[in-house]
A and B are shown apart, each in its own frame.
Chain A
Amino acid sequence: MKKKHIITRRTALVTGITALGSYLLYRTVKSPQVPTYGSILRSGDNFTYEAQRALLSKRALVKEYSRSDISSFPATGTLDPGDEKSKTYNKDYALTHRNGFSDWKLSVEGRVARPGMYSLAALQSLPARTQITRHTCEEGWTAVGEWTGVQLSQLLLHVGIFPSARFVNFYAYDEYQDSIDMIDAFHPQTILAYGMNGRPLPIQHGAPLRLRVETQIGYKSMKYLRRMVVTDDYVDPGDSGWAWYTGI
């Protein structure tokens, strides 16, 4: 007589996949989310966010390359906020650029124990990390570059974030603003870069300081940073028409 199994491989598979799907949907509905603006597209982005956070390693490092892999690197978006002809001209940037960024400071604010202004020298006195990684642009192209900077986690620990902090918001000279969650903020390869390919960061690539979020698409790696604000809640800048989370 054929032995009857209470749990067959088939029912286990069906149950497993249904449970996983329900769990991901539950996470998307229940956990505090970035706004969807009632848009089905933004809901899809939030589902991707929850699925990747649930299914992928939060600490896995992106592939690192060797120096001989460094490639040509297009600069897109703002190329120089100090250029008067630029659509995103900023007088403060033009002035600090003229001073060789010697008076430039990153303002660190929000839910931190020691807010303050951090000069380039202050950031460079923190332990440095150099990594050769692949930049993936949403447009479809990729480029490999070497980045030197301070791990964002180092700076966050240095300024002492409060336990309720959930997001790190960045503000740039070209009026760009964006944020990342604490998982990406504490990723070992998320750095505030002041060097590129063994030299100071070029103007085109975001001098004097840019963000590198290697686990997301290129546009999250903001250039020309001036301000960083740690918050408990998502700061809603409105729907830019672009996904907030771009690990995909």
Chain B
Amino acid sequence: MYNPWVKITHWIGTISFLFLVYTGIEILMVHPRLYWGDVGNDLTPALFELPISRNYHHNGWTTSQPFFNSTHSPVSAGRTYDIFNENGWGRSLHFLSAWVLVAVGLIYLLSGIYTRHFQRDLLPARKEMSFRSLARDMADHFKHGMAFVRGPNYGVLQKLSYCLVLFFLVPTIVLTGLTMSPAVAASHPWLLTIFFGAQSARTIHFFCAVLLILFLIVHVVMVVRSGFRKHMRAMTFGS
């Protein structure tokens, strides 16, 4: 049976995560180019680009003016193209949802320590980590008619993926998000160091989001395959 704190934080977290994905896609559409290091803009080479808005390869620029007299001088160019940009509400909604996620994340973290949810339910036991048990659990996932298991009584792969999400992807996406903030990076310059720069932080933030969305898809597929109604009841008002 799930602890009420797990249930509450699960659903508030779900809603804020969906808002973060929605606004995150909007923000990415405004500048669908990703870079490595501290610097990246339309006049510098991208690591990769995504064809997800009219801003992709828009080429609406005035003639480049070099800043210096050298041959490979950095340049200035003015943008003449009217870009897609809904960041006025997109950014504010992204940060508001992030505040909600931070708040429920802290409640979840504290209640998880307090009720020993992490120790008891999430961290795999040593004997579960054997090759044989991992292989068996993997095979079980591809069998027809997956059994409904009343949570939180998780399989080892399930435990590992929850731990990866909670203790690696979520902290990394929060920290890379903070690294992009000029005021936070001023007070905490180590963030720029550990993530290799402001644009690298943005790129890592993007990949964490992709992995979290993949996790969400697999999570929902598994819930559906092993008894959607039972799981929904267990995670809401039932036991």
Q: How far is the CA of A137 from the CA of B202 in the complex (A)?
A: 13
Q: Is the CB of A136 within 8 A of B186?
A: no
Chain B residue nearest to A243 in the complex (CB): B92
Chain A residues lying within 8 Å of B202, measured Cβ to Cβ, are 140
Q: Is the CB of A45 within 8 A of B183?
A: no
Chain B residues lying within 8 Å of A200, measured Cβ to Cβ, are none
The verdict on B163 contacting chain A, using a C-beta distance below 8 Å, is: no
Query: Residue A136 contacts which of B79, B95, B198 (CB distance < 8 angstroms)?
Result: B198
Q: Is the CB of B65 within 8 A of A202?
A: yes
Chain A residues lying within 8 Å of B194, measured Cβ to Cβ, are none
Q: Is the CB of A71 within 8 A of B39?
A: yes
Q: Is the CB of B187 within 8 A of A60?
A: yes
The verdict on B138 contacting chain A, using a C-beta distance below 8 Å, is: no
Q: Is the CB of A63 within 8 A of B95?
A: no
Q: Is the CB of B80 within 8 A of A79?
A: yes
The verdict on B44 contacting chain A, using a C-beta distance below 8 Å, is: yes
Q: Is the CB of B78 within 8 A of A75?
A: yes
Chain A residues lying within 8 Å of B7, measured Cβ to Cβ, are none
* Segment at the B interface, from A107-115, A141-149, A156-164: A141-149
CB distance from B33 to the nearest CB of A (A): 7
Q: Is the CB of B103 within 8 A of A21?
A: yes
The verdict on A41 contacting chain B, using a C-beta distance below 8 Å, is: yes
| Range for the number of chain B residues in contact with chain A | 35 or more
Query: Residue B96 contacts which of A21, A44, A62, A69 (CB distance < 8 angstroms)?
Result: A44
Q: Is the CB of B88 within 8 A of A75?
A: no
**B30-51 near A? 1/0 per residue, CB < 8 Å:** 1101000011111110000000
Question: Known interface pairs A21-B103, A215-B182. Does A134 touch B92 (Cβ–Cβ under 8 Å)?
Answer: no
Query: Residue B75 contacts which of A72, A79, A141, A205 (CB distance < 8 angstroms)?
Result: A72
Question: Known interface pairs A14-B110, A56-B183, A142-B40. Does A79 touch B78 (Cβ–Cβ under 8 Å)?
Answer: yes
- Give A contacts to B, CB under 8 Å: 10, 13-14, 17, 21, 40-42, 44-45, 47-48, 52, 56-57, 60-63, 65, 69-76, 79, 134, 136-144, 196-199, 202, 204-205, 214-217, 240-243, 247-248
Having A13-B110, A63-B189, A144-B38, one finds 17 other A-B pairs with CB under 8 Å, namely A14-B110, A14-B114, A41-B93, A44-B99, A45-B95, A60-B187, A61-B186, A73-B43, A73-B76, A76-B79, A79-B79, A136-B180, A137-B31, A141-B41, A141-B42, A197-B67, A248-B95
- Give B contacts to A, CB under 8 Å: 27-28, 30-31, 33, 38-44, 61-62, 64-65, 67-68, 74-80, 83, 85, 87-89, 91-93, 95-96, 99, 103, 106, 110, 113-114, 180-187, 189, 192, 198-199, 202
